[in-house]
């Protein structure tokens, strides 16, 4: 059983900020900023490909509700919502979860480095993606 499943059933304590029948939100114990919250479905799904559309809808609605509360309750200037999907993308716990990271002016947090496409690359990338949808 994964660590989030153990948190959901109460075997591991957490600092819960929201809960309903389908979703739980709790503070990350290693926050990027104070108030950094994880929002998880109570049913175990590994990643975006694994979760049903119905459960994803419930999850993202909770993300919106919790993000609003974080922004207004903590007086954050904004927030980032992030999903790390699979270990190569930084997913450390194999249970789908969204990070909500409160942002403040001058906090110094850098999200990612941007690059550019070489000539002709962008069209090839579009074709590969469109061919799978």
Which candidate in 36, 95, 97, 99 is catalytic? 97
Q: Which residue has the higher pLDDT, 22 or 128?
A: 22
CATH number for region 3-130: 3.30.428.10
C-beta neighbour count of 119 within 10 angstroms: 6
Given a cut of 80, whether residue 111 has pLDDT beyond it is no
Token pair of 124 as six digits: 């090839």
Q: Which residues pair with 38 in a beta bridge?
A: 26, 99
Given CA atoms 7, 46, 97, 32 in this order, what sign does their dihedral have? positive
Domains of the chain, residue spans: 3-130
Whether 97 is catalytic: yes
pLDDT in tens, 40-87: 999 999 999 999 999 999 999 999 999 999 999 999 999 999 999 999
Q: How far is residue 111 from each of residues 78, 81, 82, 117, measured CA to CA in Å?
A: 14, 11, 10, 19
- The pLDDT value given to residue 133: 78
């Amino acid at each position: 059983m994964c660590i989030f499943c153990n948190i959901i059933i109460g075997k591991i304590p957490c600092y819960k900020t929201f809960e309903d029948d389908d979703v739980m939100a709790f503070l990350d114990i290693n926050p990027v900023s104070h108030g950094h919250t994880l929002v998880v479905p109570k049913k175990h799904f590994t990643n975006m490909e694994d979760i049903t559309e119905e459960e994803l809808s419930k999850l993202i609605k909770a993300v919106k509700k919790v993000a609003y509360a974080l922004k207004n309750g903590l007086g954050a200037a904004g927030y980032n919502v992030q999903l790390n999907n699979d270990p190569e993308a930084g997913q450390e716990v194999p249970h789908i979860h969204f990070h909500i990271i409160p942002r403040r002016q001058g906090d110094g947090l850098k999200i990612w480095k941007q690059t550019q496409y070489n000539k002709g690359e962008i069209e090839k990338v579009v074709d590969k993606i469109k061919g799978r949808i």
